[in-house]
Structure 1
Amino acid sequence: MSYNNILFQVESGIATLTLNRPDSLNSFTSEMHSEIRQALKQVKQDATIRCLLLTGAGRGFCAGQDLNDRAVAPGEAMPDLSQSIKQNYNPLVRALMTLDKPVICAVNGVAAGAGANIALACDIVLAARSANFIQGFSKIGLIPDSGGTWTLPRLAGRARAMGMAMLSGKLSAEQAEQWGLIWQAVDDEKLLDEANSLAAHLATQPTKGLALTKRAINAAGGNSLDQQLDLECDLQYIAGCSHDYREGVNAFVGKRKPEFKGE
């Protein structure tokens, strides 16, 4: 399938989805959302894909919503922003966070508004040292969406979440790493190499076990200790019935490299 707003390719078990509207810092439009949904549907359904890498083209990762796509002429009624959230942003966040495969995000430049929160919804986030994260919503009278009010306090704590949301200042990649918002800040010229190397590694790992790990960690914030222990028990049962668990044990005993199939 050909796309106008994204680049999408699959190779060696890795699906790479690149936001591709560099002239507008890869800001979201309804058409871009539609194309992303189609690509993510393929990622979900194709068993040969075992890792997703999300990044942006040009000098930015994503500047959030393209406000020109919501332009209102004088005298017209204001748009119902909840419809855009329901139709586009919420499904995207849910798709990334529930995808039963690892999701890596390589933040190659500014990640602002929804762009920042979409990046933080991914499982492992790498960012170029020149990149920065900006909430930006408060500057136009809005609240953080795309999961921002859920993700930020869980990753950075309430005080930092409030500061980022209300002040909308720039948070450098290195500061984001120190605060625990992202996995790692890397030199700009090494970003894609590091991200591709990480994706290549994850694409050879026990995909089912990684998916169950993701499910457990994402559930932890809303569970009591007893609930989480029960969930671990249930998910470990599923993992223990997998081909990859058997292969991992046999490879360990046989002192050889395992050949995981993601099953």
Structure 2
Amino acid sequence: MSGFETILYATQDGHARITLNRPEKLNALSFVMQAELSAALWEADNDRSVHCVILEGAGRAFCAGYDLSGADGEVPVSPVEDKDGKTYRGHRSIDDDAWQLERQQRWRMALFDMHKPVIAKVHGYCLAGGCDLALLADMVIAADDATFGFPPARDLGALPNNFWVYNCGPQWAKRLLLTGDTVTGTEAQAIGLVMKAVPGNDLENEVVGLAGRMAKIDPDLLSANKRIVNLAMELMGARTLQRLAVENDVRGHNTRAADGFRASVAEKGLKATLRARDAAFGDGRARVFGPETRDENGRLTGLEESE
């Protein structure tokens, strides 16, 4: 479909396929991409021929996180926005930061709020903002060698969307978010972070097969059954937690660690800062099965025997 710059949109056989399409940036989420994704999701929800949505990423990753470079970041708040001679919000105050995060959250929450079900088809990296998207979907099917995690929790902030506890429970949510470590698709299935993990060569057929089964169901009935499950989650505080997650991320942005991150980016650049941060964590992986033994470089050992 024309009109989108950072995503691809197509409909076929009763489903819409939305593809994050910044492969050269590992589909890092810019403001423009988030706004376009929200618009595409509501387009699919409004189309009576669409029963469900497949959300995927182009290239070698689903989504490697938020775009921290600041590129592709200008999305007018309204058609009358005119910055000449006017003072609009930036990121000057704590309230400005919360307001900007809430704006982005409203775009992402379309995944949860729309009536029709969404399948996240995850391959490669699914990090930080990628997890924020995937875990807002109704079902996540991943390649068994996909990588899930939230490395920015090491120094940059908290999570502006947080459905981890509703999927993998409080202990594994803490294990991953308190370290920024990652798990594979197979491990993510074992702890309930995703619904299912399959070999990469089978991922497309697995997702399309499920979408095809939902295409046989009246979309209004799909809506009724999605929304009652989501309502159950809301009664458990899921929506309120998302509002609080934004406030908590602002808190994270005002820590000494976040100040150090920003200072390092200004001095050394973003890539060097991320490289130095993550080097301290070795391979950056958690182990779901068996003891977590590491070599002198912080890399897990004995993976062949335990996995």
TM-score by length of 1: 0.76
Matched, 1:84 2:85: no
**Distance of aligned partners of 1:222 and 1:55 in 2 relative to their CA distance in 1, 3 Å threshold:** closer
Q: Which residue of 2 aligns with 1:21?
A: 22
Q: Which residue of 2 aligns with 1:95?
A: 110
**Distance of aligned partners of 1:222 and 1:198 in 2 relative to their CA distance in 1, 3 Å threshold:** closer
Q: What is the root-mean-square deviation in Å for CA atoms of aligned residues?
A: 2.1
How many Å separate the matches in 1 of 2:140 and 2:155?
27
Q: Which residue of 2 aligns with 1:212?
A: 224
Q: Which residue of 2 aligns with 1:256?
A: none
How many Å separate the matches in 1 of 2:167 and 2:3?
36
Q: Which runs of 5+ in 1 are unaligned?
A: 225-263
Q: Which residue of 1 aligns with 2:58?
A: 57
Shift of 1:203: 1.5
Q: Which residue of 1 aligns with 2:170?
A: 158
Q: Which residue of 2 aligns with 1:6?
A: 7
Q: Which residue of 1 aligns with 2:148?
A: 133
**One-letter amino acid matched to 1:85:** L
8 Å Cα contact 1:137-1:165 kept in structure 2: no
8 Å Cα contact 1:111-1:134 kept in structure 2: yes
Relative to structure 2, which stretch is displaced further, 174-183 or 199-208? 199-208
How many Å separate the matches in 2 of 1:45 and 1:24?
30
Shift of 1:140: 3.0
Relative to structure 2, which stretch is displaced further, 173-182 or 93-102? 93-102
The structure 2 residue matched to 1:183, chosen from 195, 202, 217, is: 195
Shift of 1:84: 3.3
How many Å separate the matches in 1 of 2:167 and 2:156?
24
How many Å separate the matches in 1 of 2:210 and 2:229?
20
Query: Deviation digits for residues 193-239 of structure 1, max 9, x if unmatched?
Result: 21112112111213222222221212224538xxxxxxxxxxxxxxx
**Distance of aligned partners of 1:78 and 1:109 in 2 relative to their CA distance in 1, 3 Å threshold:** farther
Shift of 1:183: 1.1
**One-letter amino acid matched to 1:87:** R
Query: Deviation digits for residues 146-201 of structure 1, max 9, x if unmatched?
Result: x22xx111211111111111111011111110111111101111111211121121
8 Å Cα contact 1:18-1:55 kept in structure 2: yes
Query: Deviation digits for residues 34-78 of structure 1, max 9, x if unmatched?
Result: 22122122112111111100000111110121000179xxxx976
How many Å separate the matches in 2 of 1:204 and 1:192?
19
The structure 2 residue matched to 1:201, chosen from 213, 220, 231, is: 213
**One-letter amino acid matched to 1:9:** A
Helix, strand or coil for the counterpart of 2:235? coil
Aligned residue pairs total 216
**One-letter amino acid matched to 1:42:** E
Q: Which runs of 5+ in 2 are unaligned?
A: 73-89, 237-307
8 Å Cα contact 2:91-2:97 kept in structure 1: no
**One-letter amino acid matched to 2:228:** A
Q: Which residue of 2 aligns with 1:144?
A: 159
Shift of 1:8: 0.7
8 Å Cα contact 1:60-1:108 kept in structure 2: yes
How many Å separate the matches in 2 of 1:40 and 1:165?
28
Relative to structure 2, which stretch is displaced further, 36-45 or 11-20? 36-45
The alignment-based identity, stated in percent, is 29
Shift of 1:12: 2.0
Helix, strand or coil for the counterpart of 1:60? coil
How many Å separate the matches in 1 of 2:19 and 2:235?
34
How many Å separate the matches in 1 of 2:213 and 2:101?
34
Q: Which residue of 2 aligns with 1:35?
A: 36
Helix, strand or coil for the counterpart of 1:42? helix
How many Å separate the matches in 1 of 2:158 and 2:129?
11
